[in-house]
Homo-oligomer: A and B are copies of this chain.
Amino acid sequence: MSGEPSAGAASGIELEPLFYPKSIAVIGASQNLLKPNGIPVPLLLTFDYQGDIFPVNPKYRSIAGIKCYPTVFDIPGEVDLAIIGVAAERVLPCLRECAAMGVKAAIVFTSGFAEISVSGMSAQQEMAELARNSRMTILGPNCLGLLNYYNGNTSSFFFHEKPGRLAYPHFLSFITQSGGLGEIIYQMVLQLSVGFNYFISTGNEADISFAQILDYLARREEVTVIGGYLEGLPRDGRLFIDACKRALERRCLVTLLKVGRTGEGAAAAASHTGALVGEDRVYDGLFRQVGVVRADDVEQMNALIAFYAAGRIPAGKRIGIITISGGGGVVVADKCPQYGLEVVQLGEQTRSELQKIFPSYGITRNPVDITSQFLVQPDLFQQTIKLVMDDPLVDAGVYFYNLELPDPQAPRRIIESYRAVQKPLFIFCWPSGKEMALDAKRELIQAGIPVAEHISSGLWAIASLADWVARAERYQPVPAAAVKAYGKQGANLILSRGCRSLTESTSKQILSAYGIPVTREITARCPGEAVQAARELGYPVALKVESADILHKTEAGGVALNLCREAEVERAFYEIMDRVKSYRPGARIEGVLVQEMLRPGLEVIVGVKQDPVFGPAVLFGLGGILVELLKDVAIRVAPLREQDAREMLEEISGRLLLEGIRGEPPRDRRALVNILLRISELAVDLGDKIEEIDITPLLVYEEGAGAIAADALIILKN
């Protein structure tokens, strides 16, 4: 899985001096090893960095045996990368000097910028401007720096030693928005006998962003797995998406510990969709879309990395469980369904073969219980593993039990059994404090066997790997979105209005231009026109006030339903006008929309909301209490592929209503998928003008009978 770095990746060229500098200057280098700016020089030496190192500090003649220069200007050669760990107030002058000297990249360790104060924020903005106006890229400030384990470019104050022999050296690339957590995760990953190729702490991201680093890594052949700790992207949302897609296309696993699940800024929103699309839910939907495996916890991420490192990917989710104590098997089996894993029934042949070698009290059904008999019957363990793993019904195996048994041969037995089979086999054990178990675990891990100490996380990782590879296999890029002719029509309709929100009628015209079916309807300016319209549409009809100033028509008394006669239409017209005028006296009223009454169907909501980072996000949910009470919705970032739209339908808890339950027919999911794709196109075309779209309800009929927007609202950008 590891390899040598590829020279000159297609793009990301501007980050080369950061990752592969020919020379590094350490500004403010110190002889004090406990200070951030005292660490880089010895660290570079420890990791055998072969380029030139230029410590800069007027106080010293040399540092760690290397000549020290009083200022940047005294450095005799070209500087590719400068490390800056000086006091906050000295950072900007230093950066300017570096830029003036033609330094290509800088890393700023120093904190005390945007993270603490308004003045820090403005200093950081100056830093960003400097980067834009010079040809120097800047990582940080407030970051731990960067580590490249190929060339020893350890431009960091993360003081650590060269790792010993690892089962999987040069394996993981890691990007972190928290230096502190990054350090801990680094140490934890090493315990899995997994090494790093790159490790980058992005800090405040004044210039270089998380997404840019991801993009750089995703382009490099030697990078096969990228992990990360992510709090949120301040910008470069589209670059992030493209980088993730690129990674997925070339089967580079991306797994992120994304925090902020609960910190959804529930800002006041004008539409239902607006209120339902929280920032974190967009990440969630997007991650599924582009195959990023979202870890909920460091235990999950580490299990995933360890399992992936071992290089055996489950072809499916049918699990065979092997244990030496019944209880252990039960505990694992019990949790499988939670992660979509199936404790498969073993084939007849497997069971009868097991029967032949098992003691009478062994259990040959899954979970398979060898019992402690293997202590006296040495081959039993290996034979069992082989039989279970060779069963064509089994996609992956889990061997669970502690390593505390008084059997010094246990690790060797497990290693041999593992190597004797081809399919993925994962070893689960609970964390023991016993020396024997710790040693055994270490032995297994060093032999490259995938081990997890947390059952739930291990099962999650198996399921996630199976999902990820399935997603990568069926991945298809979105066809390049072309602005359609009707896009212009929509845009013109919008531009012809001067207000924040469009009326229902205008909103529907735009939807209709994109091929989304809407109710037949006619705007009437007087009772006579209303009656005429009703006659054209056919009874029964609904009347709805048409005014861009009134977003909530029902609340304003601006709606009358199920009108069956001329007299009813006439009366309703007057009543609506009266009620609306008293509800909002100054409202501009364009008339009353006379609309066909739709026959009942399954009510769903389809919507769009602009995400500040990723652009338009498309929402789908079932109408009624499922969406209102349980926020049971699926979200994806536009543009959608057909596959995304189909997954949205699968994802909601109320999906059975679409499939048809309680004698209800299956619904026209094909029509629904089509509408999601159309609204995605609309959102991409007109994304610069539209803030939110709400189609609620959209009525979905039985298979083949389509779906129609009963009401719609488009809110424009300010």
Contacts and interface: CB of A to CB of B under 8 A. Distances in A.
B327 A180 contact: yes
Interface stretch (A110-118, A167-175, A217-225): A110-118
B630 A653 contact: yes
Given A116-B361, A117-B360, A190-B433, 13 more contacts: A112-B360, A115-B326, A179-B327, A180-B328, A181-B327, A187-B402, A191-B433, A231-B327, A262-B336, A262-B337, A298-B430, A454-B454, A628-B662
B259 A455 contact: no
Question: Is the interface on chain A under 10, 10 to 19, 20 to 34, or 35 or more residues?
Answer: 35 or more
Contacts of A654: 625, 629
A584 interface: no
Contacts of A191: 432-433
A215 interface: no
A295 to B, nearest CB: 11
A178 B361 contact: no
Interface string A109-136: 0011001110000000000000000000
Interface string A450-469: 00011110000000000000
Contact of A263 (B34, B188, B334, B657): B334
B337 A430 contact: no
A364 to B, nearest CB: 11
A268 interface: no
A515 interface: no
A80 to B, nearest CB: 29
A188 B430 CA distance: 8
A266 interface: no
B626 A653 contact: no
Contact of A432 (B116, B188, B433, B629): B188
A657 B180 contact: no
Given A111-B361, A178-B326, A325-B179, A431 B433 contact: no
Interface in A79-126: 111-112, 115-117
A434 B187 contact: yes
Contacts of A229: 327
A656 interface: yes
A34 B404 CA distance: 15
A630 B231 CA distance: 32
The 7 closest A-B pairs by CB, nearest first: A178-B327, A180-B325, A191-B433, A181-B327, A262-B337, A259-B334, A184-B402
Contacts of A178: 325-328, 330
A188 B431 contact: yes
Interface of A: 34, 111-112, 115-117, 159, 176-185, 187-188, 190-191, 229, 231, 257, 259-263, 297-299, 324-328, 330-331, 334, 336-338, 360-361, 401-402, 404, 406, 430-434, 453-456, 625-626, 628-630, 653-654, 656-657, 661-662
A187 B115 contact: no
A69 B29 CA distance: 81
Protomer copies: 2
A451 to B, nearest CB: 12
Nearest to A432: B187
A180 B625 contact: no
A336 B654 CA distance: 27
A317 B176 CA distance: 30
Contacts of A338: 261-262
B177 A327 contact: yes
A432 B299 CA distance: 12
A580 to B, nearest CB: 19
A694 B184 CA distance: 55
Contacts of A326: 115, 178, 180
A299 B117 contact: no
Contacts of A406: 34, 159
Nearest to A231: B330
Nearest to A184: B402
A301 to B, nearest CB: 11
Contact of A454 (B112, B299, B625): B299
Contacts of A336: 262
Nearest to A336: B262
Contacts of A262: 334, 336-338
A625 B625 CA distance: 9
A515 to B, nearest CB: 30
A158 to B, nearest CB: 11
A263 B335 CA distance: 10
Given A625-B654, A628-B662, A629-B657, A261 B334 contact: yes
Nearest to A113: B361
A662 B176 CA distance: 43
Contact of A404 (B187, B257, B297): B187
A653 B629 CA distance: 8
Contacts of A112: 360-361
Contacts of A330: 178, 231, 259-260
Contacts of A360: 112, 116-117
A716 to B, nearest CB: 27
Nearest to A325: B180
B661 A181 contact: no
A430 B299 CA distance: 9
A124 to B, nearest CB: 13
A41 B526 CA distance: 102
A432 B334 contact: no
Contacts of A337: 262
Contact of A657 (B184, B334, B454, B625): B625
A433 B662 contact: no
A552 to B, nearest CB: 12
Given A183-B404, A187-B404, A661 B297 contact: no
